[in-house]
Amino acid sequence: MSETTLATPAETATTGKGHASKYTRNQPYQSKVLVNRLLTGPESEKETIHVEMELEEGMNYVPGDALGVIPTYRAEAVDAVLKALGFNGTERVLDHNKVEISFREALTSRLTIGKLARGAVNQYAKLAGDNVPEGLKALLGPDNKAAAEDYVWGRELIDLVTDFPGVIKQPQDLFEVLQRLTPRMYSIASSEAAHPGQVQLTVRVVRYNTHGQERQGVTSGMLGERAQAAATLPVFLHENNNFRLPEDTNAPVIMIGPGTGIAPFRAFLEHRQTLGQKGDNWLVFGDQREVSDFLYKDQFLAMQASGLLTKLQTAFSRDQAKKIYVQDRLREASAELFAWLERGAYFYVCGDASRMAKDVELVLLDSIATGLKGTPEQAAEYLTGMKKQKRYQRDVY
């Protein structure tokens, strides 16, 4: 979960060692930023950062866990919304927990004023009552779903209230329109065994221009711009028992992690290295260009040289005429992949769910079918067996 939103975040967090943490999404820990450095080179089309934060004694995690980061919006974005709505921010409102706060605080840390949802447009229109502007009417109802989806793409609250002004009469009304701003979950990129009292993240800072405006991801933008060394961030640990190293420390592991999907596998490898675990490790990493996008290159090459990384494959899609992806590297090593599986290897995937994870699974099934000299149905049955044994685990988003 490189940057994902918990749809229904747990009210209590649990540490990776199985005991409840006193810090939760509602009562986060104020963590001090120790390091914030750029991982990508100047030639990169991406901005990926490495962030290190301190943890209080007793805050424990294990590889595979995530860190919840409570986001806030930039002051400039909040000021723009206040100006468009005609309020000054000192007005009092009740938040989702019926706590009285200022309207500025609500726009900063309680409501999703970025990334406009179609539901927000519908609720906004309801507030207009009988005075719905014609342009807004054209976005309502099932017949206009496509038009509404087209409108909200790349737009934020500021666009809606600018295009159709005068609807919000009271600051409290916005709680009827906008979704609650929820924590973002990032796969932890470090091993606690290697970095006691610390947690580390690998974050792609999302920036883009739509409809003539510069935009940014709410949490990644905050981490990229306002989380420099010595800053504090509200965070909590989130246990992920569905993404775990094998209990048998001698078991081989195969890890597929393009882009920021590398994060949990850095944690896996650091953990096995620090504790001297002997299982073989195969890592497949992909991104656009080796010269600028090979995240943690020196560390992984050192792990390969030491023998910790039994096999390291890279796929840099833009370094040759024909694009090469992680699934292509796996396909090239199909026979070896099946041999590892037959030795009891655990297979992990982290990253994009929409295409990469599906393509990797197809290659995995093909490799199994070829290895078995069997049918697609037999390969699917084999993979089902791996899932039951928890030897096929995915952290996709």
Question: 222-254, pLDDT tens digit by residue?
Answer: 999 999 999 999 999 999 999 999 999 999 999
Residue 22 banded pLDDT, cuts 50, 70, 90: confident
Instruction: Residue 214: name the closest of 114, 79, 82, 107 by CA.
Output: 114
CATH architecture for residues 7-71+183-238: Beta Barrel (2.40)
Instruction: Please state the length of the chain.
Output: 397
pTM of whole model > 0.85? yes
- Give the Cα separation of 345 and 335 in Å (integer): 14
Q: CB neighbours of 157 closer than 8 A, spacing ≥ 6?
A: 81, 112, 113, 114, 116, 120, 178
Predicted confidence band of residue 275 (pLDDT cuts 50, 70, 90): very high
Show me where the domains of the chain are located: 7-71+183-238, 75-177, 253-396
**What tokens were used for 208?**
């883009």
The pLDDT value recorded for residue 17 is 45
pLDDT given at position 131: 87
What whole-number distance in Å separates Cα of residue 343 and Cα of residue 337?
A: 10
What is the spatial distance between Cα 332 and Cα 330, in angstroms, rounded to a whole number? 5
Residue of 157, 149, 155, 205 whose CA lies nearest to 178: 157
Domain 75-177 in CATH: superfamily? NADPH-cytochrome p450 Reductase; Chain A, domain 3 (1.20.990.10)
Domain 253-396: assigned CATH number: 3.40.50.80
Residue 300 Cα distances to 266, 310, 357, 367, angstroms = 8, 11, 22, 26
Let me know if the fold of 75-177 is the same as that of 253-396. Answer: no
